[in-house]
Amino acid sequence: MKYTQSPYTKQVLKHSQHPKNWGMLKDANGTATSVDQVCFDQTTIYVKIKDDKINDIRFVTGGCPASVASSSVLSVMVKGKPITKALNITQKDIMKELKALPEYKLHCANLPIKALKEAIEDYKKKSKTK
C-alpha cells in the first residue's frame, strides 16, 4: 500500500483531531447554523455574550478536517473578545492561524465565520426583545 502526504498542515490536523470549544453551550444567548453550499459541511455556533463581549463560544461541525479546524481556530480567536472584533475576522485570519488550507478547501474557512456572524445577529435580536 502506498501512503500519500496529507494535504493539511500540522495546525489543521491538530485542531481537527482535538478541536477546542467543541460541543453545545446550554446557556447560549446566540445560536446559528451555517451549511456550506459547495460540500454541504455544517457548523452550528453557540455564543454567550455579555456586555458586547463573547464570554463563551462552542461549536459543533459535521464535515471535513478543514471545516472542523476552521471552526476550532475561530472559536479560540474570538473567545473573550468584543463582538466588534469578532465580526471583523476574515478567511485570511483563519488561514494565517492554520498555516494554510489546500486551495480546494478555502471555502471551509468561511463556514464558521458565517455561522458566527449569524449567531451574533441572533443574540442582538433576542436582546432587543427583552
Q: What is the DSSP letter of 52?
A: T
Question: What's the burial of 4, exposed, middle or buried (CB within 10 Å: 0-12/13-18/19+)?
Answer: exposed
Cα-based torsion angle of the residue sequence 40, 41, 42, 45 in order, rounded to the nearest 10 degrees: -140
Domain boundaries in the chain? 10-124
pLDDT for res 18: 97
Note if the pTM is more than 0.85: yes
Main-chain dihedrals φ then ψ at residue 113, nearest 5 degrees: -65, -45
Residue partners of 7: CB distance under 8 A and separation at least 6: 102, 105
Q: List, for residues 42-82, the tens digit of each pLDDT value.
A: 999 999 999 999 999 999 999 999 999 999 999 999 999 99
Fold of 10-124: Sufe protein. Chain: A (3.90.1010)
| 104 compared with 1, residue with greater pLDDT | 104
